[in-house]
A = this chain, B = another copy of it.
Amino acid sequence: MIKEWTTILHQEQIADKIYELTFEGELVERMTAPGQFLHIRVGEQYMPLLRRPISICDVDLEQKQCTILYRSEGEGTRLLSKKRVGDSLDILGPLGNGFPLDALQEGETALLIGGGIGVPPLYYLSRKLVERNIRVKHVLGFASKKDAFYIDRFNQLGETTVTTIDGTLGYQGFVTDYVLKENPEYDVLYTCGPTPMMKAIEEQLNPARAYYSFEERMGCGIGACFACVCPVKEDPTGTEYRKVCSDGPVFPQGVIQL
């Protein structure tokens, strides 16, 4: 982990409320594990006070450039969307533990299921898997066509299915509806998205091997404040926990109570 003032190289709106931002900085050299996140300070004046956790979406290690995608929703992400090329951005990272790449052998198949703003970290993951000669299939769920992004990019890496709840793009329904119906083959499942989606994946798809990326409100982002704890599954003592920021955000199937 490093704290650094990086420089914004690119900022563009790519879907409804969704922005793509690329920055340059020394800390990019450390971003070798997909699924890690950055803790970004959007205001200089302690208003907003806390950093915002945002996943790494893509990395160019040689150019020391990193791309993130974010949804401008609340005050912090709105301010982020107002930053311009050339502005400095205070970033802490990379943080947390990413998706394990060695869960698969060469030639095996990974199924990547993303939902909404949970899609970004899967892009770097997919690229890294493809680099290791692992077959990737993507199922990307969005609310509607206007919310969808990065579909061409995922298509270039492997078979990509888009689902939308209102049917305006691709398959109509939830990602789980599609997977239950089409039953694509895979060895390991990786997912990131809203909790209800991940819960449906665990319950309905019941994958043998799977990794989930979790979200929780954070304070420090480095494991010190105990803001982001999750109770572990089936813990008789009731005191066992994991911190999303430093033990996660990615956990294997069955560790965290979804």
Contacts and interface: CB of A to CB of B under 8 A. Distances in A.
Interface residues of A, number: 7
A75 B47 CA distance: 14
A48 B46 CA distance: 10
A45 interface: yes
A199 to B, nearest CB: 36
A45 B78 CA distance: 12
A114 to B, nearest CB: 32
A184 B43 CA distance: 53
Contacts of A75: 45
Tally of this chain's copies: 2
A258 B79 CA distance: 45
Interface string A93-108: 0000000000000000
Nearest to A43: B45
Nearest to A86: B84
Contacts of A45: 43, 45, 47-48, 75, 79
8 contacts: A43-B45, A45-B45, A45-B47, A45-B48, A45-B75, A45-B79, A46-B47, A47-B47
Given A43-B45, A45-B48, 6 more contacts: A45-B45, A45-B47, A45-B75, A45-B79, A46-B47, A47-B47
